[in-house]
Amino acid sequence: MQSAKSVVALDILKDVFGYSVFRGEQEQIINQVVSGQDALVLMPTGGGKSLCYQIPSIIRPGTGIVVSPLIALMQDQVSALRLQGVSVAFLNSTLSFQNVQEIEAQLLRDELDLLYIAPERLCQPRTLNLLQQTDIALFAIDEAHCVSQWGHDFRPEYIQLSILHEQFPDVPRIALTATADETTRNEIAYRLNLSEAQLFISSFDRPNIRYRVKQKKNARQQLLQFISSEHPQEAGIVYCLSRKKVDDTASWLLAQGIKALPYHAGMDAVLRQRHQQQFLMEDGIVIVATIAFGMGIDKPDVRYVAHMDLPKSIEAYYQETGRAGRDGLPADAWMVYGLQDVIMLRQMLSKSEAEEKIKQLEHRKLEAMLGFCEIIACRRASLLSYFGEQPEKSCGNCDNCLEPVESWDGTIEAQKALSCIFRTEQRFGVNYLIDVLLGKLTSRIEQFGHARVSTFGIGTELSEVQWRSVFRQLMARGLIEVDVDGFGSLKLTEDSRPILRGEASVFFRKDIGQDKKISKRKKMGKWARDFSAQPEDKALWDALRARRKDLALQHGVPAYIIFHDATLMEMVVSHPTNHKELSEISGIGASKLEKYGDEFLAVLNTADLDLSF
């Protein structure tokens, strides 16, 4: 039997948020906090962390105080909650003094379900004083990993949040993060005084994201092909390593008719902000960015994240790709990767002037990333086991599962490549070495007299492209290293000896020749987004999106705050014709039903009329 608490929580889930069932451990977490106890919640991006403190704040007497480091995110959540009929406000530096006073008065009159506060503001004596006079339902500490001094998002203000426990010992606290590793988790528990809190760890799997790594050929063309054939007019993020490449790629895409905008730290701040805003508010914008972009981007309908360069670690890759598909609908993590990426990253690492210990760590992380690119087995399984989970062997939703890759015994070829490096005295780069293997009599080869070495012309069984694949994989596995001389000359490593001596064999991944598109998108959940069979559905979908866009403009909020794509898609599929049927659709709570129900029913009913002709 369900407890009374669960019933109340479920009612709120339905009435306010319009969802019918809890996801994962949401219900247990909510019960824990509602009953006045602390919780530490580790859940992946898009997992549904917000409801875990929003619902208890509504149920418990008093106001839920939410600490959140990002002002943009705060505003987003507050606009969304208001449309859902929740009484909510935020306190941050963007408000006028008069606004602040009004909100403080509301707080004292206990009119707010939730109040979002920036951490530095919370710890000011004025705020603490105010809170002492307030009835507090709970403290939620969002992005709790910001407390970790070793993490990438460290915020000194977060350290002070231990005050909360000292000054308000009876108020339950819930800390939430999408950062999974154990060190960070322990640091959160320690710094925030949460060692007694119940720990809730969800799987970090993002089943709706499809992972794909392609061999880099003509990266831009590949990107264009990917966007225009799989995600026309949809929102996406394209990551590049350098600012220059961001600018070049964005303007090139624009010239090809894709609505692409650049974003990087070297840009004028106002322009950068405008691009971010456009990405959030308008439909179908592609943002081309360095990794400076992303933190605090909570847009749920990002349909893909494309990497034009290799990230430095699996952690970074997972975090960046995690920005796709927060709404649970199918999304792509797409990357192109090639020999040059390996060479460049290897060089960057050897040149790095970091402390030896840090260098070694960076090195290991890069190894893991390269391993992920070259793997023949399931990519999701490899990611999840990297994060300490024990996943299924194959997921059915990554390139390697969908189009199994073959491997081939390349022991002989590896020996040829390695001995070619050795015979030319470890002084040449990959292009030169391939020319020697193929027996090309170039002027440089003549000049160095390498037409006479024993490896000249011994590799004609492979093409140049295939040799590049061999060199890339040898390098990815640490069997070859790149010199720091700046010319990219290749050298043997300790590990390559057993292969040269014939004591070990090597298997390579057979790179897939063409840029084959994985044709049939496996149906996922209720919404396959393939309209080709029913053009009238496409027309309805477009009409619903247009109405949503009008409403979003009217209210000055991003379209997804009115309704998510998933909600519109369900309208297309189930064709509601009245308020009751509309209310059964996921994502439509009582408040939104009242505000927008008629607007959307009008679209749905007109579509019916059109079809009857």
* Residues in contact with ligand ADP by the rule CB under 6 A: 19, 22-23, 26, 43, 45-51, 300, 326-327, 564, 586
**Minimum distance of Zn ion from residue 394's CB (angstroms):** 5
Q: Which is nearer to ligand ADP, 12 or 223 (CB)?
A: 12
For ligand ADP, which residue has the nearest CB?
48
Instruction: Return d(Cα 181, Cα 176) in angstroms, integer.
Output: 13
272 binds, among ligand ADP, Zn ion, none (CB under 5 to 8 A by kind): none
361: Cα separation from own chain's centroid: 23
Q: Which is nearer to ligand ADP, 75 or 228 (CB)?
A: 75
Say which amino acid occupies 425: E
Taking the complex as a whole, the smallest distance from the CB of residue 395 to Zn ion amounts, in Å, to: 3
Q: CB-wise, 46 or 311, nearer to ligand ADP? A: 46
Task: Return the number of the residue (188 or 378) whose C-beta is nearest Zn ion.
Answer: 378
How many C-beta atoms surround the C-beta of residue 299 within 10 A? 21
The CA–CA distances, whole Å, from 122 to 97, 99, 245 equal 16, 16, 40
CB of 23 to ligand ADP, least distance (A): 4
For the record, the structure tokens of 103 come out as 């909100």
DSSP labels, 348-398: HHHH--S-HHHHHHHHHHHHHHHHHHH-SS-HHHHHHHHTT----S--SSB
Least distance in Å: CB of 18 to ligand ADP? 9
**Helices and strands counted in the chain (H then E):** 28, 17
- Among 88, 306, 395, 566, which residue interacts with Zn ion (rule: CB under 5 A)? 395
Give which of ligand ADP, Zn ion, none residue 432 binds (C-beta under 5 to 8 Å, depending on kind): none
Amino acid letter for position 57:
S
Q: Residue 520: phi, psi to the nearest 5? A: -85, 115
DSSP-assigned letters across all residues of 114-146: EEEE-HHHHTSHHHHHHHHTS-EEEEEETTGGG
Dist CA 363 CA 519 (whole Å): 37
132 vs 314: CA distance, rounded Å: 44
Residues in binding contact with Zn ion, number by CB under 5 A:
5
Nearer to ligand ADP, 49 or 379 (CB): 49
**Binds Zn ion (CB under 5 A): choice among 60, 299, 380, 509:** 380
Residue 47 interacts, among Zn ion, ligand ADP, none and using kind-specific CB cut-offs from 5 to 8 Å, with ligand ADP
Instruction: Tell me which of ligand ADP, Zn ion, none is bound by residue 173, counting a contact when its beta carbon lies within the kind-specific cut-off of 5 to 8 angstroms.
Output: none
* From the list ligand ADP, Zn ion, none, partner contacted by residue 22 (C-beta under 5 to 8 A by kind): ligand ADP
| Phi, psi of 178, rounded to the nearest 5 degrees | -105, 10
Name, in order, each residue with C-beta under 8 angstroms of 186's C-beta and a sequence gap of 6 or more. Answer: none
Q: How far is residue 240 from each of residues 88, 289, 493, measured CA to CA in Å?
A: 38, 6, 30
Nearest one of 214, 174, 168 to 66, comparing CA atoms: 174
- Name residue 136's beta-bridge partners: 63
Q: Which residue has the tokens 């090195």?
A: 363
**Where does this chain touch Zn ion (CB under 5 A) — which range of 373-381, 421-429, 455-463, 561-569?**
373-381
Tell me if 398 contacts Zn ion by CB under 5 A. yes
CA dihedral 453, 457, 461, 462 (to 10 degrees): 90
Q: List the single partner that 134 binds among ligand ADP, Zn ion, none, CB under 5 to 8 Å by kind.
A: none
Of all residues in the chain, what percent are helix, strand and coil, respectively (each to 5)? Answer: 50, 10, 40
Using rule CB under 5 A, residue 401 touches Zn ion: yes
Q: Smaller CB distance to ligand ADP: residue 301 or 481?
A: 301
| Cβ distance to Zn ion smaller for residue 175 or 381 | 381
Of 36 and 396, the one with the shorter C-beta distance to Zn ion is 396
Among ligand ADP, Zn ion, none, what does residue 245 contact (CB within 5–8 Å per kind)?
none
Give the containing element (helix H, strand E) for 59.
helix 50-59
* 395: partner contacted, choices Zn ion, ligand ADP, none (Cβ within 5-8 A by kind): Zn ion
Whole-number minimum distance, CB 161 to ligand ADP, in Å?
Answer: 19
Query: Which one of ligand ADP, Zn ion, none interacts with residue 174, CB within 5 to 8 A by kind?
Result: none
Q: Residue 545 interacts with Zn ion (CB under 5 A)?
A: no
Q: How far is the CB of 550 from ligand ADP (least distance, A)?
A: 22
Q: Taking contact as CB under 5 A, which single stretch among the options 80-88, 99-107, 396-404, 512-520 is the one that binds Zn ion?
A: 396-404
* Residue 329 interaction partner, one of Zn ion, ligand ADP, none, beta carbon < 5-8 Å per kind: none
CB nearer to Zn ion: give 209 or 453: 209
Least distance in angstroms from the C-beta of 52 to ligand ADP: 8
Q: Which does 49 bind (CB under 5 to 8 A by kind): ligand ADP, Zn ion, none?
A: ligand ADP
Q: How far apart are the first and last CA of the chain?
A: 52
Q: Which amino acid is at 111?
A: E
> Which of Zn ion, ligand ADP, none binds 378 (CB below 5-8 Å, type-dependent)?
Zn ion
Under rule CB under 5 A, residue 216 binds Zn ion: no
Neighbours of 581 (CB within 10 A): 14
Query: CA angle at residue 47 from 41 to 50, to 5 degrees?
Result: 65
Q: Closer CB to Zn ion, residue 84 or residue 400?
A: 400
CA-nearest of 57, 58, 88 to 74 is 88
Q: C-beta of 447: minimal distance to Zn ion in Å? A: 49
78-95 burial by CB neighbour count: b if 16+ within 10 A, else e? bbbbbbbbbebbbbbeee
> Does 378 contact Zn ion by CB under 5 A?
yes
Stretch that binds Zn ion, among 13-21, 110-118, 227-235, 392-400 (CB under 5 A): 392-400
Residue 421: count of CB within 10 angstroms of its CB: 24
The residue among 127 and 586 lying less far from ligand ADP, judged by its C-beta, is 586
What string of DSSP letters covers 20-40? SS--TTHHHHHHHHHTT--EE
Task: Point out which residues bind Zn ion (CB under 5 A).
Answer: 378, 380, 395, 398, 401
